[in-house]
Amino acid sequence: MLATALRVSEDATAREAKPLDARPREKPAPKGVSTSPLRPAPSATGIGVTIRDLTKAFDGHTVIAGLDLHIPAGQFVAVVGRSGCGKSTLLRLILGLEQPSGGRIGLEAQAVRTPPKRIMFQEPRLLPWARVVDNVAVGLGEDGSRAERRTKAQAALAEVGLSEKAGNWPATLSGGQRQRVALARALVSRPGLLALDEPLGALDALTRIDMQAMIERIWRAQGFTAILVTHDVAEAVAMADRILVVEAGRIALDVTVDVSRPRRRGDADLAALEGRILDHLLSERAPA
Amino acid sequence: MTVSFKTRTLERLTPWLVPAAILLGWQVAASTGLVSTRFMPAPSGVLAAGWQAARSGELWTNLSISFARAAVGFLIGGGIGFALGLANGLSRLSERLTDTTLQMIRNIPHLSLIPLVILWFGIDEEAKLFLVAIGVFFPVYANTLHGIRSVDPQLVEMGRVYGMSPVSLFTRVVLPGALPSIFVGLRYALGIMWLTLIVAETISASSGLGYMAMQAREFMLVDVVVLAIVIYAGLGKAADAVTRLLERKFLAWNPAYRNA
């Protein structure tokens, strides 16, 4: 934990003294492309997502209602919205965990072999009867020999700063450490798309900040497409290139966060953006 | 180091303090004539009877016959119970097909089948094996089924999302998750196994520990009767120790079993 905290502060001091440029755009979901100017080179490893007129209904109750969206490969997108707005369903549809009732979801990758899609759940969901390193190796499926999988799992554990816990049982780890093991499991297969379904919701405030910095750092190094579903607007603003506000199964707001990385907590532009999104969310239920 | 060793030895001895005290009191009561040895022989007398039976080979013959019956009956009944528990835990169709029937049979006390079993099999080996198998079947079946049902569905979803095949989903998620409950069933089954076997051997047998005790009763050999009872206690403890050993090996990940 200490190592992570130190790394965060190092990043913060190494921050470029570039003038901040926060120009949030506010318009309904465009059918075209909306790339962040801060990531000029399109990612070669990420998976792009194109969604056309997507609908999903459970027992006649519409959860996603004609949604259009394009996520360029390598973008970090945060999806925020009130409980029950359909944001988790959207994530599950993109991952193929649910089948759409109508419309189309297209995934495109530049690599010859499409990299896998991975998800980090709100709970770590580690196998209690497998050692930490074997839990990470679950992310590799059945490819390669057991020794190869273990080597890769060890490397992924090193990336989240838990090398020394490789032989432990999950029951002996703290909540934050377990979620870091889950992150290593999600990343060990070098995914092209990482879905994060409120993965930090159950952590304490300081551990959350550490984890946010860790996810951001690994995302910058690996270039996968990240889709973060969260209740926490501050978290979305701190981490994402782009924020989607989902309301009644549609994208109500699509905002690009033009703030350079690494971002500083409490930055005035970020705070202003956070305020605007919160205002939007809170006004949703206001009487028409 | 020495202190921790001493405390550990002491901790290991504590469970045996009460049995040792009972034995001591018993010996004193018997040798002072407080209790008539016609009804209750002294521990030394039981020991002597045990020595004699062991030397004549009678003890080993009966013990190994009983042990073989217990093991075979357990493997048959436990095996079928485990297989049906798995099948009904994994498949709704299989459960709908068989569970009602099994629940009906479960409510029949299996020892009430003894007259029927004697009519069917006489006092042959099949009679004992049948009773033991029926007795151990239900705890193994019910706990295996319950174990599989109570596997965390979130872990199963995780396994699916991470691309596990049905086989590895079963071996890596479902079976290990069901294992604590399966062990509970195993413990119950071992207890019922001895109980059933002894009852069956007492009522209808021409060999085995239960037969040895019944025969001794006819000749008023109280020491042999008590010897048989003491051996039951030892066998029960041994079965329990084996289960604990298995639990500690296979459930080491579970904090509830780590220091048990």
**CA atoms lying within 13 Å on the CB side of residue B197:** 30
**Is there a contact between A127 and B172 if contact means CB atoms under 8 Å apart?**
yes
> Is A123 at the interface with chain B, CB within 8 A?
yes
Residue B50 pLDDT > 60: yes
**Closest chain B residue to A182 measured between Cα atoms?**
B158
Measured distance CA(B156)–CA(B175) in Å, rounded: 11
pTM here is: 0.79
**Mean pLDDT to the nearest integer, B187-198:** 91
Secondary structure (3-state) at B68: helix
* Residue A263, pLDDT score: 85
Paired tokens of A256: 């690009």
* Residue B259, pLDDT score: 55
A1-7+67-115+192-288: in CATH 3.40.30.10 = no
Which chain A residues are closer than 8 Å to B176 by Cβ? 127, 129-130
**Closest chain A residue to B174 measured between Cα atoms?**
A127
Which chain B residues are closer than 8 Å to A139 by Cβ? 162
pLDDT by residue for chain A (288 residues), tens only, comes to 333 333 333 333 333 333 444 444 444 444 433 444 444 455 678 999 999 999 999 988 999 999 999 999 999 999 999 888 889 999 999 998 889 999 999 998 887 778 899 999 999 999 999 999 999 999 998 878 889 999 999 999 999 999 999 999 999 999 999 999 999 999 999 999 999 999 998 889 899 999 999 999 999 999 999 999 998 999 999 999 999 999 988 999 999 998 888 888 878 889 999 999 999 988 876 544
- Please list, in sequence order, all residues whose beta carbon lies within 8 angstroms of the beta carbon of residue A219, skipping any fewer than 6 positions away: A76, A194, A226
Measured distance CA(B60)–CA(B3) in Å, rounded: 42
Residues in chain B: 260
**Mean pLDDT to the nearest integer, B32-36:** 85
> Is A202 at the interface with chain B, CB within 8 A?
no
Name the H helices within chain A.
Answer: 2-13, 87-95, 132-137, 146-159, 175-187, 205-222, 233-239, 268-283
* Residue A10, pLDDT score: 36
* Residue A285, pLDDT score: 62
**Closest chain B residue to A122 measured between Cα atoms?**
B154
| Cβ neighbours around A110 below 10 Å, total | 16
* Residue B87, pLDDT score: 95
Residue B258 pLDDT > 70: no
**Domains of chain B from N-terminus onward:** 71-258 (1.10.3720.10)
Which chain B residues are closer than 8 Å to A116 by Cβ? 163
Looking at the complex, report in whole angstroms how far the Cα of residue A169 sits from the nearest Cα belonging to chain B.
6
Looking at the complex, report in whole angstroms how far the Cα of residue A25 sits from the nearest Cα belonging to chain B.
35
Q: What is the pLDDT of residues B218-253, one digit of tens each?
A: 888 889 999 998 898 888 888 889 998 999 889 989
Among B161, B172, B255, beta carbon nearest to A119? B161
* Residue A111, pLDDT score: 75
What is the ipTM, given to two decimal places? 0.78
Residue B2 pLDDT > 60: no
Residue ranges of domains in chain A: 1-7+67-115+192-288, 126-191
* Residue B204, pLDDT score: 75
Residue B150 pLDDT > 90: yes
* Residue A20, pLDDT score: 42
Mean pLDDT of chain B: 90
* Residue A31, pLDDT score: 40
Paired tokens of A79: 């999806």
Looking at the complex, report in whole angstroms how far the Cα of residue A84 sits from the nearest Cα belonging to chain B.
20
